[in-house]
C-alpha cells in the first residue's frame, strides 16, 4: 500500500485504501480506467498525484488512465487557447453526416485514411442500402466492399463494419452501446472512434478525440510532447475541463483544416498567433 505523510486525513486514507484494493492481482483494464476517471480531480496535483504516479508507473497505459500533474501556468495557457478557439469557431461540429449512432459508427470507420468530404458522398446510398446493424451483418461482403470502394482500404473497412455489426446484433440487440469499454471491443472501433460516437451521438464526454489535426496542433501549442494518441489524450484531459472536451476537439480539428495546415500553416491569420509558441513549425 502507498503511505501518505498525513494518513490521518480522511481523503488521503480513503485513497490509500482504494490503492490497496487495486493492487490485488485482478484484471485492471475496465476497473482501473473507471477508478482513475473518478480520481482525476483528487490526484492531478500534490502529494497524492506524486504517490499515484509512483504506484502506476509499472503498468501499461492501456490498463489505466495516467494522470498528469498540471501547473497553474499550463492550465491558464490552455484556458486562453480554449477561449480563443471558441470565439473563432463558435459553431464547430462533427463534419461527418449521420442521423443515428449506427450511421456515425460506420462513417467514422470509413473516415480512416479518407477525407470526411469523400465519406459524406458515399454514405447516403450506403445508409439507404443498409439501414440496420443486421443488414450489414448479413450482407454479402463483396457488395459491401463495392459500396465503399472509393473510401480506400475498402476490404479491411468492409470486414470491420460487418464484424462490428455482427457483434452489435449478438451482444447489444443491434444498438450502439453508450460506454467506452463496450465500444472499443467492436471490430474497427478504437478510442478515437468511440469518443467520436459517444460525444456526437450521445453527448457523453468519454474522452478527447485525438486525430491528426489534434495531434499536430496540441504539439505545436506545447499542450503535449507526446506522439502517441492515447498519451496525447491523457495530457489534454488533464488540461481542459470535461465539459469542453467534445466541442473543443471539433474546434481544434476545424482549426487544423482551415488555418494550422501540416505543411503551410497560416500563422499570420491564426487567432492563436499571439500566444502560440509554434513548436516544430518551420520558419
Which residues are designated catalytic? 192, 211
Q: Which residues are CB-neighbours of 167 under 8 A, at least 6 positions away? A: 185, 186, 187
Residue appearing with cell numbers 500566444: 275
Q: Distance between CA 168 and CA 160 in Å, rounded?
A: 12
| Listed residue (164, 88, 158) closest to 126, CA to CA | 158
Residue appearing with cell numbers 443488414: 135
Q: Distance between CA 136 and CA 127 in Å, rounded?
A: 10
Q: Distance between CA 200 and CA 217 in Å, rounded?
A: 21
Read off the C-alpha cell for 158: 468492409
Direct distance between the N- and C-terminal alpha carbons of the chain, in angstroms, rounded to an integer: 51
Helices (H), 130-267: 133-138, 141-148, 154-172, 180-183, 191-201, 212-220, 229-239, 245-258
Q: Distance between CA 124 and CA 130 in Å, rounded?
A: 10
Angle in degrees, CA 182, 186, 191, rounded to 5: 70
DSSP letter assigned to residue 56: H
| Listed residue (25, 7, 5) closest to 17, CA to CA | 7
Amino acid at each position: 500500500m502507498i503511505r501518505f505523510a498525513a494518513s490521518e486525513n480522511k481523503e488521503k486514507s480513503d485513497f490509500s485504501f482504494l490503492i490497496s484494493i487495486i493492487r490485488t492481482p485482478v484484471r485492471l483494464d475496465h476497473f482501473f480506467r473507471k477508478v482513475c476517471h473518478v480520481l482525476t480531480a483528487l490526484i492531478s496535483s500534490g502529494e497524492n498525484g506524486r504517490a499515484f504516479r509512483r504506484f502506476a508507473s509499472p503498468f501499461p497505459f492501456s490498463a489505466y488512465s495516467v494522470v498528469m500533474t498540471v501547473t497553474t501556468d499550463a492550465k491558464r495557457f490552455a484556458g486562453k487557447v480554449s477561449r480563443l478557439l471558441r470565439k473563432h469557431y463558435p459553431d464547430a461540429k462533427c463534419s461527418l453526416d449521420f442521423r443515428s449512432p449506427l450511421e456515425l459508427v460506420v462513417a467514422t470507420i470509413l473516415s480512416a485514411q479518407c477525407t470526411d468530404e469523400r465519406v459524406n458522398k458515399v454514405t447516403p446510398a450506403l445508409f439507404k442500402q443498409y439501414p440496420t446493424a443486421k443488414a450489414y451483418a448479413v450482407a454479402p461482403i463483396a457488395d459491401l466492399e463495392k459500396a465503399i470502394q472509393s473510401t480506400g482500404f475498402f476490404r479491411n473497412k468492409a470486414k470491420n463494419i460487418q464484424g462490428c455489426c455482427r457483434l452489435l446484433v449478438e451482444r447489444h440487440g443491434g444498438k450502439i452501446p453508450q460506454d467506452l469499454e463496450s465500444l472499443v471491443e467492436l471490430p474497427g472501433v478504437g478510442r478515437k472512434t468511440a469518443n467520436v460516437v459517444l460525444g456526437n451521438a450521445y453527448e457523453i464526454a468519454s474522452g478527447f478525440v485525438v486525430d491528426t489535426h489534434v495531434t499536430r496542433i496540441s504539439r505545436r501549442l506545447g499542450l503535449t510532447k507526446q506522439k502517441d494518441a492515447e498519451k496525447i489524450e491523457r495530457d489534454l484531459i488533464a488540461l481542459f475541463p470535461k465539459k469542453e472536451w467534445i466541442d473543443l476537439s471539433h474546434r481544434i480539428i476545424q482549426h487544423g483544416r482551415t488555418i494550422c495546415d501540416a505543411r503551410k500553416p497560416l500563422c499570420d491569420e491564426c487567432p492563436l498567433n499571439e500566444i502560440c509558441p509554434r513548436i516544430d513549425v518551420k520558419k
